[in-house]
Structure formats: C-alpha cells, structure tokens
Structure 1
Amino acid sequence: MLSVTLIILILTAIISFTAFSNRKVIDDLIFYPPAITRRNQWYRFLSCALIHADPMHLIFNMWAFYMFGSMLENNFNYIFEEKGPILYVALYLISQIICLIPSYVQNKDNYYYKSLGASGAVSAVVFATIFLFPLTGVGIILIPIRIPGFIFGFIYLGITMYMARRGGDNINHSAHFFGAASGIVLLLIFCYAFSSFDPVQNFISQIRMYTGL
C-alpha cells in the first residue's frame, strides 16, 4: 500500500509533467489572484501546488517533500494513531492555503501576478519535521556539511524574509515563509488537540541535550 506521501508525490509529478507540454493545464491551475477575485476560483489556492515551473523545480520540491514527508507521516501515524493520515493531509493542504493568503491580499487585482508550485506546503512539512526532530542534520547546497535542523531553520527563515522584502526574482518567498510557519503552528494545534504528546517540551529537551544544558 502506498504511503500518503508517495500518493501526493506521484499525483503532483503526473500533473506537473502534463502541464510542461500543455499551457491550458497551467492556465487552469496556476495561482492567479484576479481569477479568484473576479471569478471566485478559490480552488487555485490548492491546484497551483500540482504544477511547477520546470522539471528541476518539481524535482527539488518533491525530493524535499519525500525526505521530510516520509518521516513526518510515520511520526503522525505514531502520535495520532488512526487520525495520523488525515491530520498529515490536513497539514499539507491547510498550509498550502495559508501560505498564499498574503500573496492574494497583496495581488488580488494584479493581472501580472502568477504563482505555482508546492513550495509552501513542502516548507510546512519540512519545518514540522524539524520541530519534531531539531537535531536532524540538514544539508545546504554547495556546503559539504550537515547542520542541525533547528539552526538550518533559523538561517532559512532569515534568508527567506530578506529575499521576500527585496523581491525581483520571480520567486514567492513569502509563501515559503508562511508555509514554514503554518507547518509548525498546525503541528502544535494538532498535538494539543488530538494527542497527549507535547511538541514544545520535546523540542526544548532536544535543544538542551544539544547544548549540554
């Protein structure tokens, strides 16, 4: 039986590869604020996660999603038992919506603005996993070392905030930032609402172990 992570990955890959050679698929699914504002096509908050700009964009997102998503899904199944798969999907989908709300508010009548990709939802999965396992080593492109996840998280968020303010590179950095934040917030909400697991205490304990306190 396929895991939820693999099902999402395969579905995203199939639709993305279809869209690479079919402009209509892109136009129908891409996040386009005026289409939401004028035609109430709210589905675009989610459908844009199924398409990507090019194969490298798709591969990078799905590689990160598979590496972190597999770990997060397994732990959701352990923490939440039978509710695990549902809450895992909920985190992915809700984060994808939340991460695009700032972009929508800023560009709801901007006919030149479009966005695509699952980066916001993937960021949510990555950071929820990092919050559960802050000492897990994370590699950084072009740097031949792995650093603890919580350190990587601070670096990533700092760079993302800077790039979002600077703009001009056609990348929706705010979606990455708000996706990451929503992943952590949803993890906390789910844990306190549906389990006895304390993610904050778990995080603090691991950091104390790392720092020797």
Structure 2
Amino acid sequence: MFNPILILVGLTVLVSAYAWSNHDLMESWILRPYRMARDNSQWYRFLTSGFLHADWGHLLFNMIAFYSFGQLVLDVLANGTGAPGLDGFGAMGGIWRFLLLYLGGIVVSDIPTYFRHRDDRNYGSLGASGGVASVLFAGVIYSPLNKIYMMFIPVGIPGFIFGFLYLAYSYYQGRRRGDNINHDAHFYGAIYGVVLTLLFMPAAGIEFVRQISRFIGLNS
C-alpha cells in the first residue's frame, strides 16, 4: 500500500523547489484573493498554494512537522487505537480520510484569508501550514499527552498544552497582523483538524478528556 505522507512530502518539495526558479508557476499558483474574487477560474489557488513555500526554512519546518505527526494520525485512522469506539477504517478508508484532513485543511484554512484580503490587490499567501496544523491537532486529539518539542526549548510540552498555547498565539497574531505570516491559516487549520477528527471518531473526544483528567489527577 502506498504511503500518502511520503508522496505529499516529495511532491511539495519538488513543486516548491521548482517554483523558486519559475516565477510564472509561483505567480499562477499562489493564493491571490483579489484575483480569485474577480475570476472564477482561479479557485484552484486554494489548493495549489499549499504546495508552494517561501524558502527552504519554511518548507522544511512544515514538512518535518507534517511527517512527524502524519504517521500517527494515518495509523489511527487506518487501524484505530484499541480504545472503545476508536476503531480504524482500514487501509483505504484511513488514507482518504487522511487526505481529506490534510488537503481539506489547506483549502479550508485559507477561506477566512480570502474574505479578509479579497480587496487587497497586493496580498498573496503560500504554504501548507493549514494542512499541517490540521494533522498536528488530529494527533493532539488522539494522543494529548505525547510531548512536543520546539526549537530552543529543551523540554517537551504535553500536546494538549501546546495546542492551547498554539491556538492562543495564532489567534492573537492573526488579529494583530504584525508580520508576514498567515496566522489565520494556522488557527483555522487547527480548528478544522479538531472538528474533522471528532466527526470521524466522536469517541476520540471522550478519550481526550479522559487522558487529560488522569494526567491532572496524577500530577495535582
């Protein structure tokens, strides 16, 4: 059975690297809300912009995060966790749900960006961050106590704590608009990932709460 994670990573690396030397491709695939609002043939940019990145740092950060959490999420969707109500959907069922999570996250996370900037002639956005956030937060729902490590921080942070901090930071920065990062895509991609994960496996929400409750009880 093919591994969609490796295919998506490889495709994203190849497209991003090629687009850095091909301005026409970069310009035709990047998210341009102004143009999309005035030309109904350009809605494809919601998806294609997720295969473009600004530079190697941006690309590697997204792909490492995607790969790190992707296998956990794909395994759960295919095979389940063994907990009550968390049965898997089989190989193909897991794959198409995983693709809906990641590719859907890329598209859905940019919808608020589209409405916010559709009258801004110069605005553009690119990157797979919305899809990566969707997969990351699905992983947090399934394994909230797994520790997440970040650069320059020597200790791991339990996933559910990292998740709350991530959402708060992304929301704040999205309202502040203090840099060139599309924080709205991070925020809404994460929300999409949580919602879709709970739609796939409603019992995951109960297991999420149970694990956190035990963690707090053991450490209080």
Does the residue aligned with 2:155 lie in a helix, a strand or coil?
strand
- For structure 2, the residue ranges without an aligned partner over 5 or more in a row are 80-87
Once superposed, what is the RMSD of the aligned Cα atoms? Answer: 1.1
TM-superposed deviation, 1:13: 0.6
Whole-Å Cα distance in 2 between the matches of residues 134 and 191 of structure 1?
Answer: 15
- Alignment partner, residue 80 of structure 1: 89
Q: Comparing 71-80 with 10-19, which one deviates more in the overlay?
A: 71-80
Correspondence list, 1:91-106, <5 A: 91-106=101-116
Correspondence list, 1:47-86, <5 A: 47-78=48-79, 79-81=88-90, 82-86=92-96
TM-superposed deviation, 1:133: 0.3
TM-superposed deviation, 1:101: 0.8
- Alignment partner, residue 30 of structure 1: 30
The share of aligned pairs that are identical, in percent, is: 43
Whole-Å Cα distance in 2 between the matches of residues 74 and 28 of structure 1?
Answer: 35
Does the residue aligned with 2:43 lie in a helix, a strand or coil?
coil
Whole-Å Cα distance in 2 between the matches of residues 140 and 184 of structure 1?
Answer: 21
Whole-Å Cα distance in 1 between the matches of residues 116 and 172 of structure 2?
Answer: 18
- For structure 1, the residue ranges without an aligned partner over 5 or more in a row are 193-197
- Alignment partner, residue 100 of structure 2: 90
Whole-Å Cα distance in 2 between the matches of residues 113 and 67 of structure 1?
Answer: 31
Q: Which runs of 4+ in 1 moved over 6 A?
A: none
TM-score, normalising length: structure 2: 0.91
Whole-Å Cα distance in 2 between the matches of residues 20 and 35 of structure 1?
Answer: 21
Count of aligned positions: 208
Which residue of 148, 151, 156 corresponds with 2:166?
A: 156
Does the residue aligned with 1:77 lie in a helix, a strand or coil?
helix
1:210 and 2:215 aligned:
yes
Does the residue aligned with 1:67 lie in a helix, a strand or coil?
helix
